[in-house]
Amino acid sequence: MLKRVTLFFCLLMSFGFSYPQGYICDREGARLEYIRKATRDGSFRWRHVLTVTCSEESGALRKVTTSSAFLKSNGKPLYKSDVTERFTIKADDVSADIGEAMASYVKARVGLNATGSGTLSVLPADMQPGDTLPPVVAQTKVGLLTYNVKVTERKVLREETISVPAGTFRCMVVEEHKVESGPGHHRDVTNLTWYSKGIGYVRHDTYIKGVPDTSEVLQSLK
């Protein structure tokens, strides 16, 4: 029976079919390493090591938890702790709790407890060039301070194959406008992200007022 199933999927692959899969790496223990550099001069910003710490079935859903360490060029931590993110996969569509991720980021940056809330960020498994994705609105509260994030104008620009140090990947390219605001903080950027099925993002570029600012690229996947 196993041989028949294997042969069946091999035949599907030979005719251009592939296993259903979302735009995320859900393999527990997987380790993805990125490097972010300034676009203007190629200077090092940080090394981002993302580890899939938990991946488990929950009814019709799969729950995935990741932990991200951000490191300086000398290998020392950039923040006080790692950033935790949680994802839900349903029928291969991936959703992320951005408010919760923001709270974890604040904890990592300044060491203060925070709470987060807001809408989910969704990446449909069947997204195609020309599609528009739902906007995301989230906020985090640190004591009496409130910080907001709005991600709008989310659209799938194209499908393309790109090569990075970790390999060559077929990707969907998603553009979005992201505004972060709060006491003492304001950031307005346009993001361009290359997503590959079974991996997540393999490249992430930021632009400020149309000028390239940074680029984060996948270096390795273990």
Is the pTM for the entire model greater than 0.75? yes
Domain boundaries 19-221, corresponding CATH code? 2.40.360.20
Torsion angle of C-alpha atoms 161, 42, 188, 101, degrees rounded to 10: 70
Distance of CA 215 to the CA centre of its chain: 14
Whether 116 and 99 have beta carbons less than 8 Å apart is answered as: yes
Q: What is the pLDDT of residue 21?
A: 84
Residue 43 and residue 62: Cα distance in Å, rounded? 38
Whether 171 and 143 have beta carbons less than 8 Å apart is answered as: no
Q: What is the pLDDT of residue 2?
A: 34
Q: What is the pLDDT of residues 42-94, one digit of tens each?
A: 999 999 999 999 999 989 999 999 999 999 999 999 999 999 999 999 999 99
Q: What is the pLDDT of residues 10-42, one digit of tens each?
A: 433 333 333 458 999 999 999 999 999 999 999
Residue 46 and residue 22: Cα distance in Å, rounded? 27
Q: What is the pLDDT of residue 17?
A: 39
User: How far separated are the first and last CA of the chain, in Å rounded?
Assistant: 31
